[in-house]
């Protein structure tokens, strides 16, 4: 059997280990989830609301303790870890506040006699497969709306954050969530496939790599199960010739380096019009150089280690493959000696389609900058990617901003800002970035049965 292991990425020290559960234990887990669904789906909304409200309160009450686990397990700087804890609290509270609105019957205006309404109902036990880069947030944006809706959750977390995974289950238990509604599962990839195929399970949500998404999506499709897949991105950050360059450069640094650059929606490809290119690059390099990697437990640290040495090695390989093919390094690029999964803030230019860094996701503090001559060229380059998650455009011209927003092939567009998560904003992408949406009402409805109830003899529903 495999294990789930906590390895401090700042030191390389192993601090905890948990074994995978057996197939028999997984079967029991699915049975418990199915049994809990039968009662949870009919639990009054006020009770569900109370659980999520209390979960939000516990997140805030235990912020220090919960944040320290993020720092320990994936190297997130402590100040950013506390920010993630608060974001999760806001998600729990958002669905507590909106579940009644989102579950209200929707009367339809129909041509025939009688009435027709669409009801929003749960569908059953769901499997979640979640990554390590935002151990609490990624889970909350899947679990919170589905707990509110009345579904039950079996959650397989990443192997390197088992203590964070257990903390999520503990918080929900302390909040009063009935046994079996949310279950942590230390299982293998093969067991994930078995769980998704199980007839008691009705859907699966995965955030992770393209390879993992393809594997889970294939199992879901073969077994006719609903799936939501969030598979990463290589987000363009476009700076047009009329942009506020000071503001754009400052935001670009945060957009690239927050969470160590280990975010699907991190700004990764900086596409800058020729007339402001030199100024932007100069200010961008100055800002990037100020984010020196340090101890993630210090409140002053903004750039900690990557989550693992494997992540460092993969990132370094992409950088040096680009350099070997003619790319130029403007900053960083030298992997430091010594313990810890550290990598410096790095900026590349001269990256071409022949290099892996052009089309693959750089999951770490590495930026690629491009010079373009026109707005059309900027849009074309931005869309020349297998991904389509989020994007940013900096301009002082509202018409240009709207045109870019219309033509970008992404699920999200931010104007004069980098991507930010909020419970009331839908999250998701197109192309290789996956299918489906999370958060807001859109995430609430992904695993809902939109049931039509038609009564031809009932009172006529009229428009207005």
List of residues 6+ apart from 24 with CB closer than 8 A: none
Distance between terminal CA atoms of the chain? Answer: 61
Q: CA of 193: how far to CAs of 2, 49, 215, 220, in Å?
A: 16, 32, 8, 8
Q: In the chain, count of helices (H) and strands (E)?
A: 15, 20
Partner residues linked to 237 by β-bridges: 270, 392
Q: Is 227 a catalytic residue?
A: no
228 bridge partner residues:
205
The catalytically annotated residue of 73, 84, 230, 446 is 230
User: Pairing between strand 366-372 and 346-349?
Assistant: parallel
Distance CA 112, CA 31 (A): 43
**Choice among 169, 227, 264, 446 that is catalytic:** 264
Name residue, tokens 């750089």: 362
Q: What are phi and psi of 118, to 5 degrees?
A: -110, 125
Rounded Cα distance between 132 and 76, Å, is: 10
C-beta separation of 33 from 328 below 8 A: no
Only one residue has tokens 């290119």, namely 277
Q: H-helix or E-strand containing 453?
A: strand 448-455
Tell me, yes or no, if 300 is annotated catalytic. no
The string of DSSP codes covering 46-88 is HHHHHHHHHHHHHHHHTHHHHHHHHHHHH---HHHHHHHHHHH
Question: Angle CA(444)–CA(168)–CA(207) in degrees, nearest 5?
Answer: 55
**Cα 143 to Cα 139: distance, rounded to the nearest angstrom:** 6
Q: Closest by alpha carbon to 2, among 188, 193, 165?
A: 188
State the catalytic residues. Answer: 230, 264
């Amino acid at each position: 059997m495999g294990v789930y292991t906590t390895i401090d990425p700042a030191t390389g020290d192993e601090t905890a280990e948990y074994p995978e559960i057996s197939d028999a234990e997984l079967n029991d887990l699915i049975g418990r989830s199915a049994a809990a669904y039968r009662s949870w789906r009919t639990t009054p909304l006020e009770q569900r609301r109370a659980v999520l409200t209390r979960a939000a309160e516990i997140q805030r009450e235990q912020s220090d303790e919960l944040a320290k686990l993020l720092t320990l397990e994936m190297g997130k700087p402590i100040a950013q870890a506390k920010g993630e804890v608060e974001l999760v609290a806001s998600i729990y509270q958002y669905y507590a506040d909106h579940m009644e609105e989102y579950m209200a019957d929707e009367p339809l205006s129909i041509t025939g006699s009688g009435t027709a309404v669409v009801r929003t109902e749960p569908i059953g036990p769901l499997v979640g497969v979640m990554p390590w880069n935002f151990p609490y947030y990624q889970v909350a944006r899947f679990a919170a709306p589905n707990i509110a809706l009345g579904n039950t959750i079996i959650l397989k977390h990443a192997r390197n954050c088992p203590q964070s995974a257990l903390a999520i289950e503990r918080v929900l238990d302390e909040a009063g969530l009935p046994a079996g509604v949310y279950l942590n599962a230390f299982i293998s990839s093969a067991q994930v496939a078995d769980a998704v195929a199980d007839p008691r399970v009705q859907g699966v949500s995965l955030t992770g790599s393209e390879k993992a998404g393809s594997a889970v999506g294939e199992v879901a499709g073969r077994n006719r199960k609903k799936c939501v897949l969030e598979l990463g991105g290589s987000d363009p950050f476009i700076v047009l010739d009329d942009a506020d360059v000071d503001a754009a450069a400052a935001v670009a640094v945060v957009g690239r380096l927050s969470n160590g650059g280990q975010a699907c929606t991190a700004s990764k490809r900086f596409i800058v019009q020729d007339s402001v290119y030199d100024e932007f690059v100069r200010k961008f390099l100055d800002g990037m150089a100020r984010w020196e990697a340090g101890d993630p437990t210090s409140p002053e640290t903004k750039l900690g280690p990557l989550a693992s040495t494997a992540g460092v090695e993969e990132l370094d390989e992409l950088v040096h493959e680009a350099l070997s093919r003619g790319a130029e390094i403007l900053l960083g690029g030298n992997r430091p000696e010594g313990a810890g999964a550290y990598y410096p803030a790095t900026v590349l230019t001269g990256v071409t389609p022949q290099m892996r860094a052009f089309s693959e996701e750089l999951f770490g503090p590495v930026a690629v900058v491009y010079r373009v001559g026109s707005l059309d060229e900027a849009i074309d380059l931005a869309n020349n990617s297998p991904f389509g998650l989020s994007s940013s455009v900096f301009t002082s011209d509202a018409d240009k901003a709207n045109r870019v927003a219309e033509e970008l092939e992404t699920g999200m567009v931010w104007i004069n800002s980098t991507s930010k998560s909020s419970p009331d904003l839908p999250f998701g992408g197109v192309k290789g970035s996956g299918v489906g949406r999370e958060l807001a009402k859109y995430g609430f409805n992904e695993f809902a049965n939109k049931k039509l109830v038609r009564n031809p003899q009932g009172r006529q529903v009229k428009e207005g």
